[in-house]
Structure 1
């Protein structure tokens, strides 16, 4: 008899875009999902979910921060343990929204800051918080004409500075898991070749770019595999010159979108989800204003100007320039259902399975034996009721 064995029963599982009525067995000792033949064992603790929905723990692929913490503010000679405390603050907010794993995005900063910030973002775990899975460096190899809120003064061309000099070889090996770059810049093709050869674990995504469809396709064929917040900070989709956005329909790349109702019109969320349901990915692109009150807030290492938060909209004060989002990932999922009419499991897939596939996370993102027992328990409206990590409940809605 295995006293660590538990079973969710009387529930619906989010599996490949469908809601399936099925029990789910997992081990708290191993922290993994187990095969269903364990139903024959005695002593299994059965947890009746009364028809609720079990989703894989959500994966937050692109967050610049939240709850007052922006990742450009790390490694500034703060008090010992202060950076750890800030990251833990983010991890604890994430679990309140069903997130069990997240990648910290570092937007473009001064070239001397990369080697200071990125090491702080090596994968790590937190007690009762979501796991930090590494860093996403969004810059500085971006096109100034599509910089969005990034500082033009800090942008670099790949031909002029190597990733080893910029980020550091150790960080490319240990911390960096995703790089967003503009494929049309001088040296970008050689950079993609180099990254694929020397750091094959790093996923290359195309964004903040004025690249043509043909330029983007050429880099995908070299090994790049994603588009970063498609439609935002890239050429618009034109019927004769489709740009990077036209690559969505090729089946050759994943593509992230921000379904907050601000960055994309709801009709485009529908277009993105229907184009390739297994390649569409939801991101929040959240900034540190997420979780803070509305109003004017100060700048930071990415943005020197003051910032205005109005609901989920965050802009540079006095402009219409969006600086990211304030939406949470569970809210993005609910928005997608409302915008597109898809079922809840289809929306959940874009925040779990698709991201795990893109990032080659073989132990997360799916409800199948051998994967981590990381779960978000939802009601039928997509509201997160409980979050479980490694087979243990770490948060529950009061």
Structure 2
């Protein structure tokens, strides 16, 4: 067992900053936390020079990384490249996300992700975003791939997705009650997104057990004073919500408002399509997207994912939204881990949790990964 003692570091426990700390780790796990941890003198020590330590970031919605888009290359090799691209920016755990596609691709993705989970511990499972969405809120998805749910396809996805499928994004208003119950009794998160649900339909979905909404504000029925829509239902209900904090998908003031209403149920996602894509135009699932001012748009002008990482989102949250640093860290780590029921394994600096850690300087630059 290779042990390392991290010395002269600081980190947050809830909102309290603990300074002059030490963390004893092996290759996988945090073994001890505190001041002056007694260790054998032969154990390797790493002086972190009073930098801030955070858990590895946890991103539950990642479509691609660098030059790779998962829908275009459903393979373990592609997932390894996507994971590496995000790991370089501090995202140590992620859910690769398959957007609306044909049934054969969905089943293939489940098989590929199952294999990748064994080879790459940073792959937590699959987020299936679509194809059972409202065509009026298709966003960057090809409308030709969006369809109503049928029991045979739902059963195949559920059967093949056991242990692999972690989040399914649906438009609940296009499902029958029986179909919703079929999904909600499974061991994955059922999230509302790309939806035109009314406030009443959304609240009924939450009452049945729907526990999350996908990319809050985007591709969902908006808040109106006479019809609060899915947005209003999400903001007024104790469900989780992922949010893209790039200054484009949502105004920073809207992000601040969402936090004030949702507190510990709001978490960061990148919804990254590509990171540092060199081409100005690329196609996937029959949809062409072009890059404009660093963002990706369809020919119809809809946003098609983001170009940020979770580290970028954390910096934006602190510097532009005005969220406190400990809260921002939890939104990138503990809260998404909790949604998946993994907070005893990842997302926290605690004995028994993952030893994949990030080191930030006072300007929130990522200076080291452990």
TM-score by length of 1: 0.86
**Which residue is equivalent to 1:231?**
217
Q: Bigger CA drift: 272-281 or 44-53? A: 44-53
**Which residue is equivalent to 1:16?**
14
Matched, 1:269 2:250: no
**Which residue is equivalent to 2:198?**
212
Matched, 1:58 2:57: yes
**Which residue is equivalent to 2:101?**
109
Shift of 1:372: 1.2
**Which residue is equivalent to 1:395?**
none
SS at match of 2:37: helix
- Return closer, same or farther for 1:28/1:242 CA change in 2, 3 Å cut-off: same
Shift of 1:29: 5.3
SS at match of 1:105: strand
- Partner Cα distance (2:158, 2:204) in 1: 27
- Partner Cα distance (2:35, 2:17) in 1: 21
SS at match of 1:122: helix
Shift of 1:274: 2.1
Instruction: Give unmatched runs, 5+ long, in structure 1.
Output: 76-82, 389-398
Shift of 1:273: 1.9
SS at match of 1:291: coil
Question: What per-residue deviation string (whole Å, max 9, x for no partner) do you get for residues 341-364 of structure 1?
Answer: 222222111110100111111300
- Return closer, same or farther for 1:305/1:111 CA change in 2, 3 Å cut-off: same
**Which residue is equivalent to 2:183?**
195
TM-score by length of 2: 0.92
SS at match of 1:101: strand
SS at match of 1:324: coil
- Partner Cα distance (2:28, 2:145) in 1: 45
- Return closer, same or farther for 1:381/1:125 CA change in 2, 3 Å cut-off: farther
**Which residue is equivalent to 2:357?**
375
Matched, 1:86 2:86: no
- Partner Cα distance (2:76, 2:138) in 1: 30
- Partner Cα distance (1:206, 1:22) in 2: 43
- Partner Cα distance (2:251, 2:315) in 1: 15
Provide the aligned C-alpha RMSD in A: 2.3
Shift of 1:23: 1.6
Instruction: Give unmatched runs, 5+ long, in structure 2.
Output: none
- Partner Cα distance (1:310, 1:15) in 2: 40
Question: What per-residue deviation string (whole Å, max 9, x for no partner) do you get for residues 319-344 of structure 1?
Answer: 32111101111011101112222222
Shift of 1:38: 7.9
- Partner Cα distance (2:19, 2:7) in 1: 9
**Which residue is equivalent to 1:364?**
346
**Which residue is equivalent to 1:298?**
282
User: What is the aligned residue count?
Assistant: 368
Query: Among 319, 323, 338, which residue is 2:319 paired with?
Result: 338
Which of the pair is proportionally richer in helix? 2
